[in-house]
């Protein structure tokens, strides 16, 4: 399930993040790659020990905490502290799969990566190439949305970043461990939640059918969720 969340960050927030990131210290992005992905990864990252990176990551976390679309789709239990990467002309990231388990920097905590997320911070008109390409059973999905938009997709998916041929592509990226481990169960819960919201107009808040659907949603979450 590929979820596009428009305008997770507004234009002013994106501009503020970019003003800090443009002056940040960037280093080889291979430091966060696994054995296979490290062989096909060519980009720059702000280090996980960067004070600027941690501060900007909190801006992203706060946006996630108030995003109904993210909360509905991810049902998050743990969110890996957001990192920031940059692809300049000639850089890309070949086909790979994300590590199944990540250790949160500076802690002994390990988390399962159920979902991968990319928050785009560059206007697509300012760079050529750089599409995020996600493969699933229905084919390849090419993603290059507006600055401030985020995409959420299963971490088990093969994916790549096409080489940038002009300009720079800047983004935040992170992983999510969901309360619901099964991707199929998450998708069903998401569809049910979106249907309840679509049907639940203010005049229908006490509709018995909507109440039963809401009860079904929460009881399934009790059955499938881990907290």
Where does the pLDDT of residue 114 fall: very low under 50, low under 70, confident under 90, or very high at 90 and above? very high
Q: Please give the structure tokens belonging to residue 143.
A: 């993603």
CATH of the domain at 198: 4.10.860
Instruction: Report the pLDDT value the prediction gives residue 204, as an integer from 0 to 100.
Output: 59
Same domain, 165 and 83: yes
Same domain, 79 and 113: yes
Range of the domain at 209: 183-224
Instruction: Report the pLDDT value the prediction gives residue 181, as an integer from 0 to 100.
Output: 96
Same domain, 170 and 204: no
Q: Is the pLDDT of residue 38 over 80?
A: no
Q: What is the pLDDT of residues 151-207, one digit of tens each?
A: 999 999 999 999 999 999 999 999 999 999 999 999 999 999 999 988 876 655 678
Same domain, 144 and 60: yes
What percent of the chain stands above pLDDT 70? Answer: 94
Higher pLDDT, 205 or 97: 97
CATH of the domain at 122: 2.60.120.620
Same domain, 147 and 188: no
| 3-state helix vs strand vs coil in the chain, percent to 5 | 35, 30, 35
* pTM summary value: 0.92
Angle made by CA atoms 100, 93, 99, in degrees to the nearest 5: 5
CA distances from 21 to 37, 45, 212 (A): 24, 10, 48
Same domain, 32 and 64: yes
Number of domains in the chain: 2
Same domain, 81 and 122: yes
Element containing residue 31 per DSSP (H, E): none
Angle made by CA atoms 70, 133, 8, in degrees to the nearest 5: 25
Instruction: Give the Cα separation of 94 and 80 in Å (integer).
Output: 22
Q: What is the pLDDT of residues 59-70, one digit of tens each?
A: 999 999 999 999
Same domain, 21 and 131: yes
Identify the bridge partners of residue 169 per DSSP, sorted by sequence position. 87
Same domain, 199 and 135: no
Same domain, 15 and 52: yes
Same domain, 124 and 61: yes
């Amino acid at each position: 399930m590929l979820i596009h969340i428009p305008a997770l960050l507004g234009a002013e927030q994106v501009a503020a993040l970019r003003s800090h990131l443009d002056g940040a210290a960037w280093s080889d992005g291979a430091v966060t790659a696994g054995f296979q992905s490290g062989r096909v990864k060519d980009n720059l990252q702000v280090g996980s020990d960067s004070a600027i990176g941690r501060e900007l990551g909190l801006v992203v976390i706060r946006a996630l905490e108030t995003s109904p679309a993210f909360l509905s789709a991810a049902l998050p239990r743990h969110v890996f502290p957001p990192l920031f990467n940059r692809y300049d002309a000639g850089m890309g990231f070949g086909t790979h799969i994300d590590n199944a388990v990540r250790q949160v920097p500076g802690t002994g905590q390990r988390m399962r990566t159920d979902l991968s997320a990319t928050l785009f911070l560059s206007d697509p008109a300012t760079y050529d190439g750089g599409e995020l390409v996600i493969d699933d059973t229905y084919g390849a999905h090419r993603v290059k949305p507006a600055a401030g938009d985020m995409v959420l997709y299963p971490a088990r998916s093969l994916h790549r970043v096409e080489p940038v041929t002009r300009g720079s592509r800047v983004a935040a990226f992170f992983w999510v461990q969901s309360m619901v481990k099964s991707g199929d169960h998450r998708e069903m819960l998401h569809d049910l939640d979106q249907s309840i919201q679509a049907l639940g107009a203010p005049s229908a808040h006490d509709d018995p059918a909507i109440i039963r659907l809401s009860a079904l949603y929460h009881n399934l979450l009790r059955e499938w969720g881990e907290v």
